[in-house]
Amino acid sequence: MNVLKLLLEKIDQKKERMVQIRRHLHQHPELSFEEENTAKFIEDFYKDVPVDKLETNFGGQRGIIATIKGIKASGQQHSSHNNRNKGKTILLRADFDALPVTEKTGLAYSSQNPGIMHACGHDAHTAYMLILAESLAEIKDLLSGEIRILHQPAEETPPGGALAMINAGCLEGVDLVFGIHLRADIETGHIICHPGNTQAGQSIFKLIIQGKGGHAASPHLSNDPIVAGSSFVTNLQTIVSRRVNPFEMTVITVGSFDGAGQFNIIKDSVILEGDVRTMNEETQRLIEKEFRQLVAGLEVTFNVKIQLDYSNNYPVLKNDPESTRQVKEICERTSGLNSNQINQDEILIPEITKVETGNPWSASEDFALYLQKRPGCYFYVGAMPEDGIWHPHHSPRFQIDERSMIISAKSMAAIVCEYCG
């Protein structure tokens, strides 16, 4: 019996439910660390699913783990066409938090929670994973090893939900970890698997610049924090242009400059907030060092006092090269894109039309924390709308092609069957 073919048939039978789940979640988004109703929805879904174990409020942060055990013991050795070991314990992760964004898509199922939107696709991540988990549980007697489904909260807001999940033991006994992110900037049907450093590390900062307020007509009697802050915003970019190797990806953004006041008043203080993205830890350390030097110089130059909060949050996401190679090969083989394909009956996932290595992504992702502990791969599934018009992640007009959820479920199903089939 072809276990993967049976699993894919089950997924196909549930396409409409997958879409319904995604649209329900899209209408009811919740922010990081506040996902009470979303967690309850996920928990309720599993009530009629024959998983072997369901853990709720995992890590004390509403995480949910559904464990599916194959009939054969985890770690048992099996041979395959390429001599890989079967019966692994693998963890599949999907996040479920939303963003503080006011939706402007005009969709019939737009967010009903003012100022909150699933503007990054986590609703779709959850929907495909629920259907995949249900389908896996229904055929668990044909599987070996153990599949651990992790529904993770709070990916969007540092320190992120992954840290609490790891501290609570989600990786105990796990051999490999896998995850998918849908991307609207990649054509639907395309999959990108990038080995090594794949997503940027993230640092965030907050400066309170304390000057001396006064009358706008007598600036010499004050120390203007707006002038100091403006100088800092400009000089900050010299770190990227003059301190970082031009071949290293680095982004420094001041996203908030709170200097609102009145036209004839010199403010007493201003607040600047922003973030830093780098593609390796050495550059991340260099940026912080140079950043703090600029802050010290600003205090002397403008005679102000600065309170600085600078934290390194998400590390660089590093895909295990061997796991990534295997994911790419599995997706190519099951979609018929492998050059050695000779039997049309072996084309099990025709929805995948291209598999490539692609380029790193400058966004940050707390899945990086799992990959610091275990080998695995975080890869991308194209979700560009059919008309080719797409909006960036975190945009109020962000949309996806819902066919990408089926591709996500099927590609992950193929990976599961490779290790636990």
Any idea which residues carry the catalytic annotation?
97, 155
Question: Across-strand partners of 319?
Answer: 196
d(CA 143, CA 13): 20
d(CA 35, CA 42): 11
Dihedral Cα 111, 21, 176, 411, nearest 10 deg: -110
d(CA 125, CA 395): 18
Dihedral Cα 344, 348, 352, 353, nearest 10 deg: 0
User: Comparing C-alpha atoms, which of 380, 414, 411 is closest to residue 128?
Assistant: 411
d(CA 258, CA 280): 31
d(CA 86, CA 255): 47
Q: How far is CA 320 from CA 104, 191, 237, 369, in A?
A: 38, 17, 32, 13
Q: What would you report as the CA-atom Rg of the chain, rounded to the nearest whole angstrom?
A: 24
Task: Using alpha carbons only, give the angle 22, 25, 30 rounded to the nearest 5 degrees.
Answer: 145
